[in-house]
Amino acid sequence: MATLEINDLRVSVETENGSREILKGVDLTVKQGETHAIMGPNGSGKSTLAYSLAGHPKYTITGGTVTLDGEDVLEMSVDERARAGVFLAMQYPVEVPGVSVSNFLRTSATAVRGEAPKLRTWVKEVKEAMERLQMDPAFAERNVNEGFSGGEKKRHEILQLELLKPKIAILDETDSGLDVDALRIVSEGVNRVRETGEVGTLLITHYTRILRYIKPDFVHVFANGRIAESGGAELADQLEAEGYDKYVKGGATA
Amino acid sequence: MAEAQNIPVGSTTTGSIAVAAESTVATRMSAPPSFDVADFPVPHGREEEWRFTPLERLRGLHDGTAIANGTMKAQIDAPEGVTVESVERGDERVGKAGTPVDRVSAQAFSSFAKATVVTVPKETVLAEPIRVALHGEGGTTFGHTVFDIKPFAEAIIVIDHTGDGVRAANVDILVGDGAKVTFVSVQDWDDTAVHTSQHNALLGRDASFKSVVVTFGGDVVRLHPRVRYSGPGGEAEMLGLYFTDAGQHQEHRLLVTHDAPHCKSNVVYKGALQGEGAHAVWIGDVLIEKTAEGTDTYEMNRNLVLTDGARVDSVPNLEIETGEIVGAGHASATGRFDDEQLFYLQARGIPADEARRLVVRGFFAELVQQIGVADIEERLIAKIEAELEASV
């Protein structure tokens, strides 16, 4: 069973005023089949955690370990992590000029699966996945994220999640900027993947809204670069009622 | 009815990418067209038509100091039925398709020894392309070539430039009534070569002309692909592809003059740039004259900047003197392949070098498929791969 283990993870970014520590010792274990919601105020370091796990070059790991089934994730390049089964659905997916969605998906699936998917089954697989996410087939011929609306970008991210079938899915504020319909469609996509029992999900969000659609097994409150409190789904209800005030007060969050 | 637009679609135009998009007048040149070099003042570099060009790298082509002292090995493979002649500049076909528009083209016209005229007779449909291989062996050469495609003939012409040297030339393409011509000019020079050329296409009634300009090599390449119509119903497609490396200056200055009614033109130029000092210039002028009712035209330039230190100047310009047209538009966009895009692709399991190839191949693919000359398409794809290999 796939397990992502994060131990005392410390991460800094370079700023004009020197190095600044953002993650200050994160401990978290995510197992296949589990869904962990990470909730926290803006600036608490939630997204830094997501991007550090995916290997974004902007972040410097200054301490701690991250392993996936015992393999050192921090030693891997960005693409190696993806091929090992770590998937990051991004909050702000970038435009990639000149690359069509269909070409991108196939290249990506080929890389992650280790061999090119058979063309006939692949076309069907993509078509069905797009239908489930209520995406126009014409979408496949557009350039990656170019001119996509906020909702289209998120559906495209979840489409990739469904096709790439990672071991660990990190969803970085996938709910932000979505209207209710889009949120429901995207959440259903995430739930389809979760229901396979094959994926461990790290759901990073600022709002409790998405948790009405995606029920977490664990909720962690993230504040000031570490996990401040952990609990079950009831913790989300408490956050809904009380907000983040008690975690922010006295903290260093800007 | 007429729409003129300039839509930036690329992801960013920050940093070292400069996109000029101001309107210029298509005909704003420092001197009217002329066959005589003396009619053009020596450019100083601030003129509209010279402001992007590094004059100091033109090896004297612009100021009269370049003399014909070089060797250009020329080989023409002409299929049966095609005639090849060497003629004097007084021949009425020479210069018929167009007049030099800048001092360098006029210098080429004033300096060539003999012009080559290649004729495809009336109603002759060539099964094989006419191939002109020009291989520079150093020094300065001047040239003038006329392709005279008679009415209802069909031909593919490929001019292939390789080697080293300083080359100034004019190419005339006379496309007869109802004729169909694909004209391909490949600039695959060594990195030290300097090349300036004006391509003048004159389209007869219902003629169809496809120009394909492919520029990879050279220190400085500055081309003027131009189209005019001598009767109604003509169709011109102008495709261009360039891959500008560190230190290279590649400039394409297009003009389509719609002076006859019910003609079409479609211009698509795409370029990728990489390396310090890579500079691509694209000027796309379309002029729709009062007489050109029913014109349908579109022009587009797309650039993909792969690294820091490269610069693009892209200036589309549309001048319309009649509202009675079918359509007119233009677009220019410069996008950048940056670390965030690389991260995104890598985060989906795609290795860095493959990510770069994916982006560049995808960028050019559609354009390459439109060329319609199989061996050129294959060579282009191979060349693009090689350029990318060199950069990784």
Is the residue at A165 inside a domain? Answer: yes
Mark yes or no for CB contact A56/B343 under 8 Å: yes
Residue-wise pLDDT tens digits, B100-119? 999 999 999 999 999 999 99
Tell me which residues of chain A, numbers 67 to 96, contact chain B at a CB-CB cutoff of 8 Å.
Answer: 77-79, 81-83, 87-88, 90, 93-96
**Amino acid identity at B208:** S
C-alpha distance across the termini of chain A, in Å: 39
Is the residue at B132 inside a domain? Answer: yes
- Give the residue ranges of DSSP H helices in chain A: 46-54, 78-84, 101-113, 119-132, 150-164, 180-195, 234-242, 245-248
Number of domains present in the structure of chain B: 1
Is the residue at A112 inside a domain? Answer: no
pLDDT at B366: 81
Mark yes or no for CB contact A104/B359 under 8 Å: no
Give B11→chain A minimum CA distance, Å. 7
User: Sorting pLDDT into bands at 50, 70 and 90, what band is A254?
Assistant: very low
Residues with Cβ < 8 Å from A219, sequence gap 6 or more? A36, A37, A39, A211, A230, A231, A232, A233, A234, A235, A236, A239
Tell me, yes or no, if A114 comes closer than 8 A to chain B by beta carbon.
no
C-alpha distance across the termini of chain B, in Å: 47
CA nearest neighbour of B383 among B188, B248, B238: B188
Average of pLDDT values for B196-200? 98
Is the residue at B277 inside a domain? Answer: yes
Residue-wise pLDDT tens digits, B116-141? 999 999 999 999 999 999 999 999 99
Locate tokens 């909702």: which residue? A151
Question: Considering only CB atoms, which chain B residues are within 8 Å of A96?
Answer: 341, 344-345, 359
Is the residue at A254 inside a domain? Answer: no
Number of domains present in the structure of chain A: 1
Domain that holds residue A76: 3-98+151-248
Mark yes or no for CB contact A99/B359 under 8 Å: yes
Locate tokens 């930036």: which residue? B8
Residue A69: which CATH number? Answer: 3.40.50.300
Cα separation, A164 vs A86, in Å, equals: 10
**Amino acid identity at B80:** E
The token pair that represents B86 in the structure block = 């060497």
CA nearest neighbour of A24 among A16, A34, A14, A13: A13
User: Is the predicted pLDDT of residue B13 greater than 50, yes or no?
Assistant: no
| CA-only gyration radius of chain B, Å | 20
Is the residue at B390 inside a domain? Answer: no
Mark yes or no for CB contact A57/B350 under 8 Å: no
Give B283→chain A minimum CA distance, Å. 22
User: Is the predicted pLDDT of residue B10 greater than 50, yes or no?
Assistant: no
The count of residues in chain A is 254
Across chain A, mean pLDDT equals 94
pLDDT at B26: 46
Closest-CA residue of chain A to B358: A99
The count of residues in chain B is 392
Is the residue at B122 inside a domain? Answer: yes
Per the CB < 8 A criterion, the answer to whether B251 and B52 are in contact is: yes
**Amino acid identity at B81:** G
Is the residue at B382 inside a domain? Answer: no
Is the residue at A25 inside a domain? Answer: yes
The token pair that represents A214 in the structure block = 């995606």
Per the CB < 8 A criterion, the answer to whether A65 and A231 are in contact is: no
Output the furthest CA–CA distance in chain B (Å, rounded).
65
User: Is the predicted pLDDT of residue A100 greater than 80, yes or no?
Assistant: yes
Residue-wise pLDDT tens digits, A102-156? 999 999 999 999 999 999 999 999 999 999 999 999 999 999 999 999 999 999 9
User: Sorting pLDDT into bands at 50, 70 and 90, what band is B336?
Assistant: confident
Domain that holds residue B44: 37-339
Question: Considering only CB atoms, which chain B residues are within 8 Å of A114?
Answer: none
Closest-CA residue of chain B to A157: B348
Cα separation, A193 vs B164, in Å, equals: 59
pLDDT at B365: 84
Residues with Cβ < 8 Å from A99, sequence gap 6 or more? A143, A144, B345, B358, B359, B362, B363
